[in-house]
Structure 1
Amino acid sequence: MLKVTPYLELDCEANHLVDHANRTTIGLTFSESAVLSHLISAPDAICDKDVLLQVGWPDRVVAATSLTQCVSTLRKKLEPYPEVQLKTVARRGYQLHISLKSHVKMLAVNDAASIKTALFDVSLMVKVGGIIVLLSLVLLAWLNSNNYTVMQEAGKWQADKQIPLNIGGTKESIQLIYPTGEDRLHPSMWQKHIAPETNHIPGIESFNAYALTDGEHYSFASCETDSDGHCIRDQMINLTAIDLTPAGLDMKQFIALSRTMEKRIRYNRVLIPPYVIFQEKEQKKAVEPEFIEHHYHGDIYFPVADELLVRADVGLSLVYEGENTGKFYSSTCITDEDCLTTPIKYQIRGDFEQYKETIDNLDVDVFHVKVTQKDLIKPDTVSASAMHFYREIRKHNIRDDELFFYRIHKDKQTAVWIVPLMGNIIVWTKYEKVEL
């Protein structure tokens, strides 16, 4: 028996995983068992694909796709154990990583050393039994807590890669965030929608950016930076690819069109002034705010070849009622460049709890939102370009009762968010503090 975690073991003879926590077994094929056994023997080491093919299919010649399918099936069988991560290392092989922070260590009932200690004398056994019961209760409470749920969700993401990105003729290396196990991470997935021959924006000397994929959409959020490396508040670009066909986006034309669209229509603009003033005996006095709204706003554009440019006008608002809790409001309005689609409006209200997590070396604020109200308004007219968005939002509107928003970067005037819109999309937003 090979120990994977304190409560999960691999039986190489029977070809199955033994889960002592749930008292279940998970069947494996010979190849899956052999490959997993080899990976366990060298945790965190990168195992060559050819070696794994020899281990999993001895004395046989099989295609490389056999290993790919084997790893894919293993990942599905290991999904209930987020602390066990089977990673793909591009052009090198595979790596098994056991996270120490993702679970509470348990006393395995077949752990010989533990049993020996427990049987040392009766009184010690009683004490250990009490400790096990207590740990079991603590574990049960932990597994049913919001903290564990958030930790599991954050554990689905990785941020250990950088990719090159060319915006307007300026090239930078940017942070990439992607789901664990996702291997379609070539930089072209983010770059190919910008036509190289028209990728020129005068005046951009440097920018900061983040790239994201949820496995279906490929988005990036960028902001031009000043000489000190700070984001210039009004120079943001948020692009999301929903189609694999290159969109051929002319960046100079795009910038002009996006500025026109934002001036023409703004559904999520904050209209409340920063403070309220009243007149009393010809003296102006400031009214103390009853609460503070932290508002974030950004525009996401979806370029698709031969289609109208679609824009999502996204607003997020937080009203704290405790140190890390409060009310959450999200409003999204979707239109196209010719206004053929009157706004598709999607609004969410709920209660949030805020958590501090890390995705690799990236510190993030995770907002766990329990939805109390959702409103999806279908307009009288929806263009062909925008119909995809209505269908996707409607699908999520029906099933999502709790949502996770990630704030991965913030400064005094801006913040970068991962928002659960039609999956997960990244957006650089402007920040406003509104006193009410």
Structure 2
Amino acid sequence: MLKITPYLELDEEAKQLVDHANNVTVTLTVSESAVLHLLLLSSSSVCTKEDLLAAGWPDRVVAATSLTQCVSTLRKKLEPYPEVMLRTIAGRGYQLNVSTRSHIKMLAVNDAESVRAAIVDVSLLVKFSGIVIALMIGLSVWYFSDYHGVVQDTASWNADKSIELNIGGVKQDVQLLYKDNVAHLHPSMWQKHLAPEVNHLTHLNKFNGFALTDGNYYSMAVCPDADDKSCSGKGLINITAIDPTPAGLNMKNFAALTKKMEQRIRYNRVIIPHNEPGTSGFVEHHYHADVYYPVQGNMLVRSDISLSLIYEGEDSGKFYSAACITDEECATTPIKYKIKGKFKQYAEQINGLDVDVFHVRVGQKELIKPDKVSSSAMHFYREIRKHEIVEEDLYFYRVYKDTDTAVWIVPILGNLVAWYEYDKVKL
């Protein structure tokens, strides 16, 4: 076969044009095939009428009109291929020109040479334009992808500092995580809420912890008697300050009060109904934490938070979260807020700190409005209500994990860090 374009060939033996792009053939007469063959061999040079008559009608004497008719018929058969032009050169003969447009036509042929011709044998301008278009398409796809959102949100966090916390009389440097452009990162922003004169816990010898701020809230997550690799999950301390005024938290009284609150009311032991469609025979990765919000002159407010992950693949699945807000005297009817959705998990880093980012597309929200809200809990009701109306895509960060616990950054009620107990439940 003799190639005309990367997708169009002349089969001189079968006397036909073979169109690989559209998977069709065009039948030629003996004379048409011979004339086209000579024109192709001439490679854009002018073929005289005498040479074409000799090729098309060998050992025969025919009128010049036979060639004219042959050329006219060939042109009609080549009409579907505008890049192939059969030209009349006045007073000299005929010439076949193949436009470079044929090299950028979509190919439907498994022919390495054709592919090479389509890519390599084009002008530099065409190549450059193709590269620019491909880059623009690639950048557009990336920009509007889910992963771009993950990269953007992760880049807004920093983990290049540590601060010293004094918990119960024990001082320890902890990892600090903070948002870009946060101005106040002095340890006092966390420490000032613990009244120094009553900051004593006799049972505490050491601890591991994390501190976090988004510029509005200042939170700390502490595991007593932990090291860098493990935490028992016992006596976890999660405190988030929502007001810049020092709360004057009495740590001795705080420890006793939290035990009382946690024993009295526990709303989120199980948050996934066992008859949930598609959840039979699954493994539930369940995390639970109690976060406390001290405010000067107000009752202590607790957020009972649970997270559950149901993996449907290696890095994706169903996501469930529930939060329940109460105060120390139950003056507020519990404010309950639940979300369900799909998650995609990514392994990222924040200044060298390995983190698991969970991009959650929220599919369902449920806010159970309380009958009564105390002044202490009103702030949280308003924040949850705004969250219910606005948020659709959420980013949860798991910044630490061991066999029994994990530390999460949670974007509910502002961005806060909390140390969670972990259970893996087969159902």
Per the normalisation by structure 1, the TM-score is 0.67
Q: Amino acid of the residue matched to residue 269 of structure 1?
A: R
| Shift, 1:342, TM fit | 1.7
| Matched residue, 1:217 | 217
1:146-169, Cα deviation, whole Å (9 max, x unpaired)? 111100010011110111100000
Q: Map of 1:20-99 to 2, 5 A cutoff?
A: none
Select 1:306's aligned residue among 262, 281, 297.
297
1:237-268, Cα deviation, whole Å (9 max, x unpaired)? 00000111111111011000001100100001
How far apart are the structure 2 equivalents of 1:172 and 1:371?
A: 38
| Matched residue, 1:347 | 338
| Matched residue, 1:234 | 234
| Matched residue, 2:387 | 396
Does residue 143 of structure 1 match 2:133? no
| Shift, 1:270, TM fit | 3.3
| Matched residue, 2:26 | none
| Matched residue, 1:338 | 329
Contact 2:208 2:228 (C-alpha < 8 Å) held by counterparts: no
The structure that has the greater radius of gyration is 2
How far apart are the structure 1 equivalents of 2:398 and 2:148?
A: 19
| Matched residue, 2:350 | 359
| Shift, 1:125, TM fit | 2.9
Q: Amino acid of the residue matched to residue 384 of structure 2?
A: I
How far apart are the structure 2 equivalents of 1:203 and 1:167?
A: 11
| Matched residue, 2:311 | 320
* Aligned CA-pair RMSD: 2.0
Q: Quick one: structure 1 residues 173 and 378, their matched pair in 2 at CA, closer, same or farther if it must change by over 3 Å?
A: same
How far apart are the structure 2 equivalents of 1:226 and 1:122?
A: 66
How far apart are the structure 1 equivalents of 2:323 and 2:380?
A: 11
Q: Quick one: structure 1 residues 346 and 227, their matched pair in 2 at CA, closer, same or farther if it must change by over 3 Å?
A: closer
Q: Quick one: structure 1 residues 229 and 138, their matched pair in 2 at CA, closer, same or farther if it must change by over 3 Å?
A: closer
| Matched residue, 1:266 | 266
How far apart are the structure 1 equivalents of 2:400 and 2:340?
A: 23
| Shift, 1:123, TM fit | 2.4
1:270-292, Cα deviation, whole Å (9 max, x unpaired)? 399xxxxxxxxxxxxxxxx7111
How far apart are the structure 2 equivalents of 1:271 and 1:152?
A: 31
| Matched residue, 1:166 | 166
How far apart are the structure 2 equivalents of 1:352 and 1:232?
A: 28
Query: Which ranges in structure 1 are unaligned for 5 or more consecutive residues?
Result: 1-120, 273-288
Runs of 4+ in 1 over 4 A off after TM superposition: 226-229
Q: Amino acid of the residue matched to residue 335 of structure 2?
A: I
Q: Amino acid of the residue matched to residue 261 of structure 2?
A: M
Per the normalisation by structure 2, the TM-score is 0.69
Q: Amino acid of the residue matched to residue 179 of structure 1?
A: K
Aligned residues between the structures: 303
| Shift, 1:228, TM fit | 8.1
Select 2:418's aligned residue among 419, 424, 427.
427
1:356-406, Cα deviation, whole Å (9 max, x unpaired)? 111111111111111111011111111110111001110111100111111
Contact 2:206 2:224 (C-alpha < 8 Å) held by counterparts: yes
| Matched residue, 1:413 | 404
Does residue 382 of structure 1 match 2:382? no
Q: Amino acid of the residue matched to residue 185 of structure 2?
A: L
How far apart are the structure 1 equivalents of 2:426 and 2:163?
A: 40
How far apart are the structure 1 equivalents of 2:148 and 2:240?
A: 30
